[in-house]
Every structure is written in C-alpha cells, then in structure tokens.
A and B are shown apart, each in its own frame.
Chain A
Amino acid sequence: MARLIRTEKEVEGRYEEVWLVVEEDALDQWPDGPLETVGRPAPRQDGRQRATGTARYTADIALPGMLHAAVLRSPHARARVTNLDLEQAREAPGVRAILEPGATDDLVTECHFQGQPIAAVAADTYAQARAALALIDVEFEVLEPLLDPEEAVKQKRLTTEPRTTTRGDPARGFAEADVIVEATYRTQTVLHNSMETHQSVCEWDGDTLVVYISTQFIWGIRDSVSERLGLPPDKVRVVCEYMGGGFGSKNGPDDYTYIAAELAKRTGRPVKCALTRREENVHAGNRNATIQKLRAGARADGTLVALEGEFIASVGWSGWLASTAGPMQMLYDCENLHTVEYGAKLNTPPMKAFRAPGFVEGTFGLECLMDELAASLAIDSLEFRRKNHADATDERPYSSKNLMECYERAEKHWARRGDVRARSDSTWKRGVGLASQIWYGGGGPPSYAWVRLGSDGRATVVTAMQDIGTGTKTAMQQIAAEELGLPIERVEISAGDSARGPYASISAGSSTTPSMGPAVRAAAADAARQVIEIAAQRYHLEERVLSLQGGSVVSADGGSWPLEEVVGLLEDAQILGKGARGPNPTGMQVLTFGVQVAEVAVDVETGEVRVERIAAVHDVGRVINPLGASSQVEGGIIQGIGHTLSEERLLDPETGTILTQTLDAYRMPTIADVPEIVSELLDIPDRHLTNLGSKGLGEPPIVPVAAAIANAIRDATGADVRSLPITREEMLRALEEAKQKTREREKVGARSA
C-alpha cells in the first residue's frame, strides 16, 4: 500500500517540507565494501559516445527549419533605453521575427545589470541574426551603478533581510578567551564557464512545447516553463541527453529559453537561442564575491569558546543568499556564536549556485582564521581541529560522521611537512597546510526509476534524469546491475527526456547519486523479485531459495537458469520494476565531511605560487564507482585551484562593465597547472541513509581547497593571504605585510629588552 508521509528535503543547505509516498518494502543496505559491480571501478558506459563526438549535446541539435536567435543585451551596468528602433533589423536578410521589450518578461528597457536582455532576433542563420542585431538603433541614458557591497549594506540595499544566527553568549565567550584573533577575508567573483554555453532549442509540437536544453534539472525546467507560459506541465517536454557542464549555473530555464519559446511560437519554427562565450561570462551566473569579517576566541588549551562573523555577499541584482556563515556555524564545536549575513543588491549580474555555494567562500575564511588561531596558541593545526571536533552543532544528530577517521588518514600527508619545508631554498619557500570540509550531499525525495527486463536477459534503467558529466548514468547502471546480478554490460540506461521516464532529481547539491541511486536499486529489486516469483513457479521451488547471480537465477541447492531463459518464458513481454526514493532519516542532519592537505611552493621574489600536491580524504558514505569518484575529486580540486590562484571576474570600477569576457582574460587552470592529487574516500556506508548509504561527491572536494593552499602559504612564508585570488600582487603584498610585522615585533622586543 502507498503510505503518505511528510518529510524534509534539502538542496544546498536550504530545507523544505514535502509530501512523499513511500513504498512499504524497504530494502536492507548491502554489506560493506566492494560488491560484484558496486564499489568497483567502472569506466563511463557512454564514454565512447562522448569521446568520439557522437554524443548529441544541445549545441549539436539542428532541427529541420530551425532558426537562430541573437539577443540585444545591455552593455551598461545600469541604463534606461531611451530610444529603440527595430525597423532596419526587421528588414535585414534572413530575419523571421523580432521580440520587442515586454515580448517576454525578461526583455526590458530598464536595465539593472550588464547583459540584461532588451530585444531578440530570429533569423535563418546565426550570422544573420547577429548582423540584424547590429542594425537595431538603440540609445541609452546611462545611470550611476551601485557596485560597492559595503556601500550597499550601509544604504540597506539588500536582496533579502539580513540573516542572523546566535548560539550561547558570544560576549561571555570572548571574555573567557585567552586568545582572540580577528581578520577580514575577501573572496572574488568566479565564473562557471561550462564548456557548453547556456542554450536551448524550443519547438512547438501542436500545443506541446519541446525544450531541448543544456540543464541540470529536466523536471525543474518543465515546472518553471509550464508555470511561466501557463501551460499544463505535461504540455512541456524537456530533453537533455548529453550536457556540457553546469557546476550549478544550469538549474533554471533563464531568459534564453523563454526567448526561444516565444520566437518559436511567432514563427512556427524551431528556434535555438545559445549564449556566446562572452555572453556566458557576463550573463550565465557567478559565484558571488564575499567580504568576511571574522573573530574567534579560544582558551589557552585550544578550546574554541567564541566565533563571530559578519558576511557580505555581492549577490548582484537578484539571486539568493548562499550560506557563507555555514561552515562557521557547523564545522566546530563552539557553544557561543554570532553570525550575520547580508546580501548586497548591486548593479551586477545575478549570482547563481556554483559548486557548494557559500561554503567554498566561507570555508576559506573560517579555515584560515582557525589556522591563525592555532598558530597564536602554538597548537598543531590538525590537533586543534581534532580538539574542536563537533559531535553535533544543533539538536539533530548526524546520520553519520567520520571526520575523525578522515583526520587519522590525513596524518601521513600532514607528517610530510618537515620534508617539504626542508626542500625550500632562498627564493622558493615550501610549506604544508590543511583545511577541513563540511557540506551537504544527502539528496532526497522525490525521485523515481523503472527497470525494464526483456526476454534477452538485458535490463534498462528508465528515468528522466540528466547526467551533467558526473557519471551518474554509469553509477545507476552499476546499482541496477548489482541488484539484478547482471554484468554491467547487460544494463542500459534511458535518461534525459521527460517524456520517456519518471520524475528525477536535480543534479545540484551533490544530490544525484544519493537521490536517484536508492530509487534505481528499489526498481531493480522490484524486477528481481518478479523474476524470482516466476522462476519459483516454473521450477517448483520456494522463492526464498532463489537469487539472481552472474546473469542467472540460482537456487540454494545448486540449480542455475540463465536469466534470458526465465524471462524468455514471457517471449516479447517485459518485466517492469518500479522504485521510489524514500525519505531521509527523520530528525537527522545528513552531511559530508573531509580534510585536504596542500603542499605549495612560493617564489618570495616574484610572488608566484605553485601548488605541488593536494591530498584529499573525504567521507561521503558508500562509494558506487571509485573511478568516477576519483575524477570528481580531481575535478573539484582543480577547479578550486583556479578559484584560489587565477580566476577572477573583473569589473571596470567606474562603469561596472565586465572586463573578463574571454577565456584569455578569465584564466582557468590548464593541464600544466595540475599538481599531484591523492584522493582517498572512506567508503563507509551511512547506516541511516536510504537503501544505499551513499552521499554525494560533486561538491565536497572543492570546499577546502583555497584554505588548505592559503594555510600552506603561511606555513611556507609566514605571510597571511586573506584575499582571493592569490595573484602575485596579493602574494607580494602579504609577504611585505609579514615583513613589516616581524620588524615591528623586533622593535617592540628591542624596547622591552
């Protein structure tokens, strides 16, 4: 019987209550450790398609009669359109339709940030659409933009009410502290730069709108588009078979989808609207900059007694206030805490989620501060973190937490610091730093999957899920293969189309595997149960002596019947198993943990920083695919190195326009920038979490990277870098500041002597 319950759902730290129908026949978790297929390395099952270029991305979709759209966007940070003449553009070669301001809600004449769309053109070719854009006669009254986040806070120009959290009595905590450190940390605006730019193709099929889109959330697109256009949800079909990266920026439909849909409606033809790389770097979202004024107090024995933080996030014109204070609130056991978070409303493009939004920024500040505190107490950094380990930070226990085990395994990497420092010379100073990680990643309901078993003894997992490049399709094949006792080669997956499968989770918040995996396992178990029932009747055996192994139905007394023989009894009929994701454990916090140890070399003459090695130990529950998991860890760390050393969206300070629109100006890591990466996952299933015990891994590895590098820099040089990215300029500034401090200390020392 279907049982209706009320349960809590979390995405990227935001909780909501949802109704959920749960199945009664819950499955026990598998035994620990590598199984037949789960827990063993599996190359991506669609790797060949991606590698050889046969995989069809949204960017590759070319429908018969398809038109191409180009969008006129505000070149100014804040401006009012005073004159707009579309006539010449309308007459341009190949132009089939033009959208004026107001034609969709996104097209406006009051522009609050650079890139805000004003008008759009559809033409036979993209070149014609661009040429027509150039013929649009537009005049602006350019207005003064607000760009300074501190000024915005002063003026109360905020995107949302300030968010305040208080625990215990912070004033008393600081009064009790033997040592107090305080510092201001700054993180920069970072751009996602997915290789496939944001884009969609919209086509009307009767009264159904078909949206081909590069997205992280097929079902979210369906809901948003149907709501905005006033269509019943089942009149919107969303397709995303292959997807060229998102990192948090592709959760919603955005203006380009609505523009394509409206142009398709007006012309009766399919329309593609794709962002150029330069549009991508202006208008596809960003990790917002932050200013973090932090203070921490501890007793002489290293016990944290008070934490305090004021956080300003440069959210932009709109967007949400990611929790930069989260790590300070959650990572350590500290009874007295006060945080306040402001979202500055600026004339800059809206932020979007970017791989552990808020926590990446907040961990940089907190974990640097903790190292400064440990240093002033003369306590070892790793020891300090153990001492202040949190068994709980609110009334809810953790579903599982193995951070102490992570610390244990990190010891051998931490122990290298003597050797690393000894390799310093007069210009290159070397050091080691570490930082801890806390983040979400528990996933949640609703998510559904079907498993179809044919008379050929092959299975297909059917679910309208997307694989954004994380390898989730392969993980789902592994889970189904394990449950069905089949080799993975005999399990296909059909995904990526809302018309071809049931509702599936968003691929954000490290949630795809923990959300979808249990549904897939439940569906496979349902199919397996039916096979066993059939075999029991056909071979006159009791169900309890039968199981599925190695592609056969096997009985306890040694009988064995190939699956195709059993299912073959049904000829062309198919067995269909269905599965749903159950609730997360009630009243528990589901979180991921880890620690990273970075080794760096700093050229104290030029300020060049080289990351030489990063060792990562993360606790994300059961690991489904160790090969794909190591790729996630490496990818997160490499992206983190970019965030730490070279990436920054730069604004013209006068006009607020974006200077880094191209990939030569916005510098992402290349293969030449990659250090040695050692990745270790604990692989301890979370006993309380679903039928799998698996958490997500997409985000945790990027969280501690910047702090681990900055702490290694301090170890190498004595300099406190408190501002990202750590360019040569910032490094030299920090070195100079450190020198000044030493000189002052010496002066004081000389006076007191």
Chain B
Amino acid sequence: MIELTVNGGRYEVEAPVGRSLAEVLREDLGLTGTKIACFEGHCGACTVQVDGVPVLSCITLVHTVEGREVTTIEGLREHPLVDAFVRADAVQCGFCTPGQIVSAAALVEANASPSSDEIRHAMAGNICRCGTYPKIEEAIHAWRD
C-alpha cells in the first residue's frame, strides 16, 4: 500500500509492481475523467499533473508519485479553461479533452498569455483525432475571458 495525494485528498492504494497511475486513478479511485487511449504514452489522453507538471499517467508507475501532488481533470473542474473550451467548441467527441485541459492548465499556470507558437509547442503531445486543434488554440488564448 502507498499513500497518494490526488486533487488535495489522501488515498491509500495498492501499488503492485507495474501498476500505472492511470489504472489506479480510474479503477481504484473512480476518477474516470483521465482517459486511456493508447496505454503507451503516445497520445496524451491520460495527462495529469504531478506537482503541476503534465505527466502521462498511463506510463507513470504509481509508486513513483508517492508523496507528490497529483491533479486530475476532476481537480480542475472549476478551472476557467473548462468554460473556455466549451465556448470555443474545443470539444468534439471529447475523449481527449480532459487531457487537453490538464495540459493547457499547466501551460497557463506557467505562462498566462502564451503565444500561438507556445500553445502549439506545449500542446503537441495531446492528439485529437477529431481535429479540434484550431478551437483548442482559440480556447487557450481566451481562457480568462
């Protein structure tokens, strides 16, 4: 058993060797906003923040985040980015969207007015097959409106 801090709450979870953070979040804690789309660190759908830094939870072993702050989409529900994404229609099927917002939240935390180039650089690891990218860029530009 290890102790995890997720969205400010503390949880005791089983951490057998090889268990990923994404599985623990989804299966043990019921935090299914974190999506698994490739399970090998290529698509960004599982992005969470660990100590404020975007991390691919599907290839992060859960025991490595003991004692660190994990923030999932469930901890960002009141973040202004959520409304910005909905307003801009930066949501199509929505399966990648929580991961997009988690990445974007880390970006605007570090840089409140990112340029388009900075947005593209920071968000290039989050694949959206529906192609909402122009709207994502727009939503991040307008996140404080």
Please tell me if the beta carbons of B37 and A277 are within 8 angstroms of each other in the complex: yes
Chain A residues, Cβ within 8 Å of B129: 192-195, 245, 247, 639, 668
A/B pair count, beta carbons within 8 Å: 165
For B93, give its contact among A195, A277, A630 (CB under 8 Å). A195
Within 8 Å of chain B (Cβ to Cβ): is A575?
no
The smallest beta-carbon distance between B60 and chain A, in angstroms, is 17
How far is it, in angstroms, between the C-alpha of A710 and the C-alpha of B73 when the chains are bound? 41
For A51, give its contact among B27, B37, B38, B85 (CB under 8 Å). B85
For B98, give its contact among A43, A52, A639 (CB under 8 Å). A52
Within 8 Å of chain A (Cβ to Cβ): is B62?
no
Within 8 Å of chain B (Cβ to Cβ): is A267?
no
The smallest beta-carbon distance between A366 and chain B, in angstroms, is 24
Please tell me if the beta carbons of A634 and B86 are within 8 angstroms of each other in the complex: no
Within 8 Å of chain A (Cβ to Cβ): is B12?
no
Q: How many chain B residues have a CB neighbour from A under 8 Å?
A: 53
The smallest beta-carbon distance between A246 and chain B, in angstroms, is 8
Q: When A47-B86, A51-B86, A469-B130 are in contact, do A242 and B43 touch as well, CB less than 8 Å?
A: no
Main secondary structure of the interface of A (DSSP, over half): loop
For A677, give its contact among B83, B124, B134 (CB under 8 Å). B134
Please tell me if the beta carbons of B119 and A50 are within 8 angstroms of each other in the complex: no
Please tell me if the beta carbons of A44 and B89 are within 8 angstroms of each other in the complex: yes
Please give me the residue from chain B that is nearest to A62 by CB atom. Answer: B27
Looking at B27, B36, B38, B87, the one whose CB has the most chain A CB atoms below 10 A away is B38
Within 8 Å of chain A (Cβ to Cβ): is B141?
no
The smallest beta-carbon distance between B11 and chain A, in angstroms, is 17
Within 8 Å of chain B (Cβ to Cβ): is A490?
no
- Taking residues whose C-beta sits less than 8 angstroms from the other chain, chain A's interface range is 35 or more
Within 8 Å of chain A (Cβ to Cβ): is B74?
yes
Please tell me if the beta carbons of B94 and A55 are within 8 angstroms of each other in the complex: yes
The smallest beta-carbon distance between A428 and chain B, in angstroms, is 18
Chain B residues, Cβ within 8 Å of A668: 127, 129
Please tell me if the beta carbons of B133 and A59 are within 8 angstroms of each other in the complex: no
The smallest beta-carbon distance between B54 and chain A, in angstroms, is 14
Within 8 Å of chain B (Cβ to Cβ): is A747?
no
Please give me the residue from chain B that is nearest to A467 by CB atom. Answer: B93
Chain B residues, Cβ within 8 Å of A242: 94
Please tell me if the beta carbons of A631 and B89 are within 8 angstroms of each other in the complex: yes
Please tell me if the beta carbons of B33 and A671 are within 8 angstroms of each other in the complex: no
Within 8 Å of chain A (Cβ to Cβ): is B21?
no
Please tell me if the beta carbons of B93 and A671 are within 8 angstroms of each other in the complex: no
Interface membership of chain B positions 29-62, coded 1 if the CB is closer than 8 angstroms to chain A and 0 otherwise: 0011111111110110100000000000000000
- The 10 A-B residue pairs with the shortest CB-CB distance in the complex, in nearest-first order: A53-B33, A469-B93, A50-B94, A638-B131, A244-B95, A635-B131, A47-B86, A663-B42, A195-B95, A53-B98
Which B residues are closer than 8 A to A by beta carbons? 26-27, 31-40, 42-43, 45, 72-74, 76-77, 82-83, 85-87, 89, 91-98, 101, 119-121, 123-137
Q: What are some 9 contacts across the A-B interface (CB < 8 A)?
A: A44-B91, A51-B94, A52-B73, A55-B94, A59-B35, A277-B38, A469-B130, A631-B130, A671-B128
